[in-house]
Amino acid sequence: MATSGPASYALAPLMAADVAEVVAIERATFRFPWSAAAFLSDLNLPYAVWRVVRAAPEAAVVDAGHAAPWRHRRQPDPRPLVAYAGLQMILDEGHIMNVAVHPDYRRRGLGELLLLDLYRQVRPRGVVRLTLEVRASNLAALGLYHKYGFAVEGRRPRYYGDGEDALIMWTGRLDAPEAQARWEELRRSWHKRWSVD
Ligand SMILES: CC(C)(COP(=O)(O)OP(=O)(O)OC[C@H]1O[C@@H](n2cnc3c(N)ncnc32)[C@H](O)[C@@H]1OP(=O)(O)O)[C@@H](O)C(=O)NCCC(=O)NCCS
């Protein structure tokens, strides 16, 4: 559980019951949003990792009684879903499929929280590099990825439906000692900045 000001954030796997909320953010965010069907077919792939962040006042988290295992949840969670990210593991590569934060919750460290969480999820499963495609004009995302050690290694011309190019970004090897130290330092500074123990 992460805490920032009056809100607290909880990370959890993306469940089918969450997809309507994810699609609402997707539609508010992307020109070519993923459909509910696309999320539903991806989230159960054995090689996919999808995570969500929910926000709520601390008391609401306790009152809502969500000690029950997330995996067995059938009903929508009452806490607002504010961010999500997904990745597919292909051999020892982690292909980040999507990262998005609700427009009202941006610049609060949630994009970083999701990257740190994906890293934590996939490193023990043998992923040693991360990659993604990003619009060449997406300065917010480029800033986030540069901060986490991604570098532009290629370009796909006119990759997006509106003709914009995609930049292909990769991290270096995550199992290199300096990379492990960097991610640990990023994790520490995130916790310090956002007042999390
Ligand atoms: C990109 C996105 C996920 C970032 O999430 P966020 O929670 O707002 O970002 P954070 O608060 O974690 O910021 C982390 C870093 O990202 C960069 N960043 C985030 N927003 C930025 C902005 N508007 N302009 C420039 N840099 C930005 C900064 O480097 C920032 O580090 P800093 O706070 O030390 O300056 C968010 O803007 C978003 O959902 N955008 C729309 C969806 C999208 O473009 N997804 C990426 C698809 S590839």
**Sequence ranges of the domains in the chain:** 2-193
The catalytic residue among 9, 84, 145, 148 is 145
Are the CB atoms for 137 and 117 separated by under 8 Å? no
167/134 Cα distance (integer angstroms): 5
Report how far residue 68's alpha carbon sits from residue 89's, in angstroms, rounded to the nearest whole number. Answer: 28
pLDDT tens across the length of the chain (197 residues): 444 443 588 999 999 999 999 999 999 999 999 999 999 999 999 999 999 999 975 534 333 333 334 444 556 677 899 999 999 999 999 999 999 999 999 999 999 999 999 999 999 999 999 999 999 999 999 999 999 999 999 999 999 999 999 999 999 999 999 999 999 999 999 999 987 65
Give the pocket of ligand 1 (CB within 6 Å): 29, 99-101, 106-112, 132, 134, 138-141, 143-144, 147
The architecture that CATH gives domain 2-193 is 3-Layer(aba) Sandwich (3.40)
pLDDT digits over 60-108, tens only? 433 333 333 444 455 667 789 999 999 999 999 999 999 999 999 999 9
CA dihedral over 120, 174, 97, 99, signed as positive or negative: positive
What CA dihedral angle connects 136, 142, 143 and 146, to 10 degrees? -130
For 21-30, letters b (16+ CB in 10 Å) and e give: bbbebbeeee
- Annotated catalytic residue within 93, 133, 159, 164: 133
Q: 144 C-alpha vs ligand 1 centroid, how far in Å?
A: 5
Protein residue closest via CA to atom 26 of ligand 1: 140
Closest residue (by CA) to atom 48 of ligand 1? 134
Residue 80, helix vs strand vs coil: coil
Length of the chain: 197
Number of H helices, E strands in the chain: 6, 8
* CA angle at 114 for the pair 108 and 117, rounded to the nearest 5°: 130
